[in-house]
Amino acid sequence: MSLINVNKLTFGYEGSLNNVFEDVSFNIDTDWKLGLIGRNGKGKTTFLKLLLGKYEYKGTISKNVEFDYFPFEVKDKEQMSIDIVHEIAPNVEDWEIIKELSLLNTDAEILYRNFNILSGGEQIKILLISLFLKGNNFLLIDEPTNHLDTETRNNLVEYLKKKKGFILVSHDRNLLDKVVDHIISINNTNIDIQKGNFSSWQENKNKQDNFELMQNEKLQKDINRLEVAAKNTANWSDKIEKSKYNTTNSGSKIDRGYVGHQSAKMMRKSKVMEKRIEKEIEQKSNLLNNIDRNDSLKIIPIESKKNPLIIADDLQIIYNSKTIFNKISFEIKNGDRVAITGRNGIGKSSILKLIVGNKIQYKGNLKIANDLKISYVSQSTENLKGTLKEYALQNKVDESIFKSMLTKMGFSKLEFSKDISQMSEGQKKKVLIAKSISESANIYIWDEPLNYIDILTRIQIEEAILKYKPTLIFVEHDETFIKKVATKIVKLS
């Protein structure tokens, strides 16, 4: 067992008004399996790079282990995959590599293909086993599940369950629940470490948030009551003090010593109340700082007068003159939320593109109701560019609603001035989602909408879907999201 000690860590990017981290301290046991969570833009990848020594910072990070970062950069992608493994972990033998791959339920055949022709999931497996085979180093694993299909994610779960000694950045709740034993959460004002998985962290977080909200409400009532009492007491004191210089109704003089004593007593009482007010205001200021106000997103679906909206009968996509999945049949009616599932490359996105109107070859029958208003979220973000104002204008969505949705998903006003092409992948995905839910539509068609999007935003999106019940057809590999949202599942095989 070794410790990684972070002491008074402070870091901010050059030219930025605010620090990403401010005076942060904590310890990590290198035997722990830690899940690192936080809103997009809160500094998860930045923190990993600070551990790696990529940036200058104030404070200290002391450790007696070396770090390895995933995804590892492969310089020559035309090499055979087994050569890349040997390059990263030079002291391992071929049988060890094959054994490690078998833990990921993967055939050793991929070792003897060039790395550049492997699928994304296969490349991830090669890089991951290489880093674990390297040995002794503490792994920093940054979002390994993006674009992975459900089967590969489940293989990854079983693989990581057998390992120890890593920090895992992931927005996949299923993965975090089944794999990690500690959660590091990057909050608004601090970094917090708790024992347990994501679900236990979320339960504790909800309890703490509810306690702080109740305490905040109680303190505010106390402060209001004390302020009124202090003001009244001060007024009484002033009034009594002035009465020292008056006479009684009978014309006799009053006892000024007694009146002065009463006045001073009331003034002391007022000062005590003011100190209590100051103390409770200070207590109040320490509450709610880390409550992530999950403001509700809004979707404005339009129910179509036609029902069903889409009918597929013995549908098959054709690629290079061959059908790529078995025949499927389904209907989409008003209010249905249909998940299209299956392994990568089997044609899920092609079905969505076909419905949207792209020229895709297919067999069977596909009937789509006339004049459907469709809101589409593509899998790719590569063509996003320009300001948010320009993007809203280009897509004919209300700019104020669009920006309001982004604010609720964690965007700051400073980010509104950025060019979209310079934003992180998570922020770009939020731009696509915000545009879609700002549109009124008969049917929403989303292709892997949650890639790179943080867990808190995923929960907001789920809650909005369950509240407003739009007609939705989507492709997604987040099992938790599918279980909560889908009313029908169409599985391709």
User: What's the pLDDT at 453?
Assistant: 92
User: What's the pLDDT at 251?
Assistant: 46
What residue type is assigned to position 354 of the chain?
A: L
Closest CA relative to residue 110, chosen from 127, 87, 135, 89: 127
User: What's the pLDDT at 233?
Assistant: 66
pTM of the model: 0.79
pLDDT digits (tens, 9 = 90+) for 151-202: 888 989 999 999 988 999 999 999 999 999 999 998 877 888 999 999 999 9
Closest CA relative to residue 449, chosen from 146, 71, 37, 120: 146
The pLDDT > 70 percentage for the chain reads 87
User: Which ranges of 244-396 would DSSP assign to H, the alpha helix?
Assistant: 256-285, 348-356, 388-394
Give the containing element (helix H, strand E) for 140: strand 138-142
Give the containing element (helix H, strand E) for 369: none
Closest CA relative to residue 439, chosen from 390, 471, 398, 486: 398
DSSP assignment letter at 345: T
Taking phi over 0 as left and psi of -120 to 50 as alpha, with beta for the rest, 405 belongs to alpha
Q: Contact at 8 Å (CB) between 54 and 5? A: no
User: What's the pLDDT at 187?
Assistant: 83
Low-confidence ranges of the chain (pLDDT < 70): 1, 219, 222-223, 226, 228-263, 266-267, 270, 273-274, 277-278, 280-294
3-state secondary structure 40-100: CCCCHHHHHHHHCCCCCCEEEEECCCCEEEECCCCCCCCCEHHHHHHHHCCCCCHHHHHHH
Residues forming a β-bridge with 312: 330, 366
Distance CA(108)–CA(25), nearest Å, equals: 44
Q: Contact at 8 Å (CB) between 325 and 493? A: yes
Helix, strand, coil % over all residues of the chain, rounded to 5: 45, 20, 35
Q: Within a 10 A sphere around the Cβ of 421, how many other Cβ atoms? A: 12
User: What's the pLDDT at 179?
Assistant: 95
Distance CA(247)–CA(79), nearest Å, equals: 105
pLDDT digits (tens, 9 = 90+) for 282-312: 666 565 555 666 578 999 999 999 999 999 9
pLDDT digits (tens, 9 = 90+) for 203-219: 998 888 887 778 777 76
Integer-rounded Cα radius of gyration of the chain? 30
3-class secondary-structure state, position 396: coil
Q: Contact at 8 Å (CB) between 332 and 366? A: no
**Which tokens go with 191?**
């970094």
User: What's the pLDDT at 70?
Assistant: 87
Closest CA relative to residue 142, chosen from 63, 65, 34: 34
Distance CA(244)–CA(54), nearest Å, equals: 74
The pLDDT > 90 percentage for the chain reads 57
Closest CA relative to residue 482, chosen from 352, 337, 385: 337
Distance CA(143)–CA(171), nearest Å, equals: 7
pLDDT digits (tens, 9 = 90+) for 108-161: 999 999 999 988 888 888 999 998 898 778 999 998 887 788 888 898 999 999
Distance CA(477)–CA(218), nearest Å, equals: 43
